[in-house]
Amino acid sequence: MKKNFFWISIAVFLLAFVVAGFWLVRFLVSANGRALVAREVVTHILTTNTQEANYVQEALGFTSPQTYLVLLLNNTELRPGGGFIGAYAIVRFDKGAPDIIKAEGTEILDNYAPTAFSTPPAPLQKYLGTTKWQFRDSNWSPDFPTSASTSLAMYAAEHGVDAEQIDGVIGFTPTVVENILKITGPITVAGQTYTSDTFTKQLEYQVEYAYASEGISTKNRKQMLGELAQALLPRLVTTGVTHWADYAALLPRMFAEKQLIFYSVHPKLEAALEANNLNGSMEGAPEDYLLWVDANLGALKTDASITRHLTYDLAPEGNGYVATATMQFVHSGTFDWRTTRYRDYARVFVPIGSQFLSVSGSMATDKSPLPGVVDQGVENGRQWFGTFFSLEPGQAHTLSFHYRLPPTLSTEMAAASLYTLRVQKQLGTLAPQLTVHLDFGTKGVASTSPSGVITPSTHSVVFSSSLLTDRTFAVGFSQ
């Protein structure tokens, strides 16, 4: 347990935001007293909304103990559901008090994977050579409720502790820890100082490589995480009081930026999480929609060196519209212990009924001059197209999907004199740049939201933004 206690402590702190008050009084009052203090913090500090307070209290085990599967999603090794699942824990809350039941690396649990478990998604088989779909690869869906449900099923199939008692799944990325360190300040462990800028890279090097030169066995290479926890937790306690406002702002921001995600198996609580954009779900949209999803397949932690720029182009064709979704990737890394050739299976999720036309930039295999196969499917009410490519360090690559949008888009635009585009960000990504070019042919543009650059002569609009959070663009037409 000790080797992953650091990560799990962070998740516990973020879930139970009452923990600052809890730790301050834990040695001063009884268990019932601590529960009372925690309940008061929820009701009067976290939220004054009665329904919200009830949900928070339920999640923290005030009505009955609640058990959670906590996932560390390493977004330097990006996966559709936020990042590679490197570690997990089972955490139980009883009247606001957390108890860590189990914590370990996912590779240990996967040793118990049944030989006849589900067949892996085709891209994992083809481009990663995976023959057995295991817990650590369970977050293949970009819809967190779907991925979480799969993770729970695999956790149970691999005989995970208390699998039948789990009430929800919490996912978080190292980006959350980096933001916490911006509040607490640097911490020093074993002569090494960890800052918000260096934390993830230093820690990855320590547990992946440096441990050997220090005479630490592979089995015990992550025990130093316990020392990190011991150094950070007291800072969380003290800054939880002195910087309460900073933490109060951090929590919703991490949810909005999809670095922290929460799924509940209980329908009412899950509906509330979805309504408040806390569960990382793929949304329904009234008209146009785009979600670009990357999956790092065997490329180490190379996503730390990849920058992205997503461009969306809409143009009229006949009585309808065609669209092109393009991602430009720039690889600023080298061949070293952390980064290598980037190997990516990319998918775009678009309105149901869209028709694939062409792709540019796909590859059959690594560095191949031959174009790759384009897969298609439907998931969560969205059409998707997917393909593979690789990118060498120090180079750039552009991948584009060209497709025809369904006829219903034109009908809805005409009926409402309004075009709406919803662009969702992939879980765990940072802030890719986003440019939207919209050409409406002969339709006159009357208004935009947010403000866009309108070219009256061509009836077009350009939006420039980032995908730090989900974005919505709307264009109103002249009558």
Residues 309-354 have pLDDT tens digits of 999 999 999 999 999 999 999 999 999 999 999 999 999 999 999 9
Separation between Cα atoms, residue 170 and residue 68, nearest integer Å: 7
Provide the pLDDT for residue 28: 33
CB atoms within 10 A of CB 374: 14
- Distances, alpha carbon 203 to alpha carbons 194, 199, 259, 347, 449, in Å: 8, 6, 18, 30, 42
Separation between Cα atoms, residue 50 and residue 61, nearest integer Å: 16
Q: What's the chain's average pLDDT?
A: 86
Q: Which residue has the tokens 């006849």?
A: 116
Average pLDDT on 242-256 reads: 86
Helix pair 5-15, 174-184: axis angle to 10 deg: 80
| pLDDT, greater one: 426 or 415 | 426
- What the block records as the tokens of 426 is 């992939």
Angle CA 459–449–347, to nearest 5: 85
Separation between Cα atoms, residue 20 and residue 3, nearest integer Å: 23
Minimum mean pLDDT range among 45-49, 199-203, 335-339: 45-49
Q: Are strands 84-94 and 66-74 parallel, antiparallel or unpaired?
A: antiparallel
Closest CA to 78 of 292, 261, 392, 295: 295
Does the structure show a pLDDT above 50 at 266? yes
Does the structure show a pLDDT above 90 at 247? no
397, β-bridge pairs: 329
Q: Return the exposure string of 461-479: e unless at least 16 CB atoms fall within 10 Å of the residue's CB, then b.
A: bebebebbeebebbbbbee
Inter-residue contact 21 to 234 (CB < 8 Å):
no
Provide the pLDDT for residue 151: 97
Residues sharing a CB contact under 8 Å with residue 445, sequence separation 6 or more, in sequence order: 454, 456, 459, 460, 461, 475, 476, 477, 478
SS3 content of the chain, % helix, strand, coil (to 5): 35, 35, 35
Residues sharing a CB contact under 8 Å with residue 167, sequence separation 6 or more, in sequence order: 66, 67, 68, 264, 265, 266
pLDDT above 90 as % of the chain: 60
Inter-residue contact 170 to 9 (CB < 8 Å):
no
Provide the pLDDT for residue 37: 44
pTM of the model: 0.91
- Going from the N-terminus, what domains does the chain have, and what CATH number goes with each? 2-275 (no CATH), 288-477 (2.60.40)
pLDDT winner (highest mean) among 4-18, 159-173, 211-225: 159-173
Q: Is the CA virtual torsion 240, 243, 245, 246 positive or negative?
A: negative
Q: Residue 1's pLDDT band (boundaries 50, 70, 90)?
A: very low
Does the structure show a pLDDT above 80 at 127? yes
Provide the pLDDT for residue 116: 64
Inter-residue contact 194 to 203 (CB < 8 Å):
yes
Separation between Cα atoms, residue 212 and residue 328, nearest integer Å: 38
Residues 72-101 have pLDDT tens digits of 999 999 999 999 998 888 888 887 777 778
Does the structure show a pLDDT above 90 at 63? no
Separation between Cα atoms, residue 352 and residue 321, nearest integer Å: 14
What is the phi/psi pair of residue 246, to 5°? -65, -45
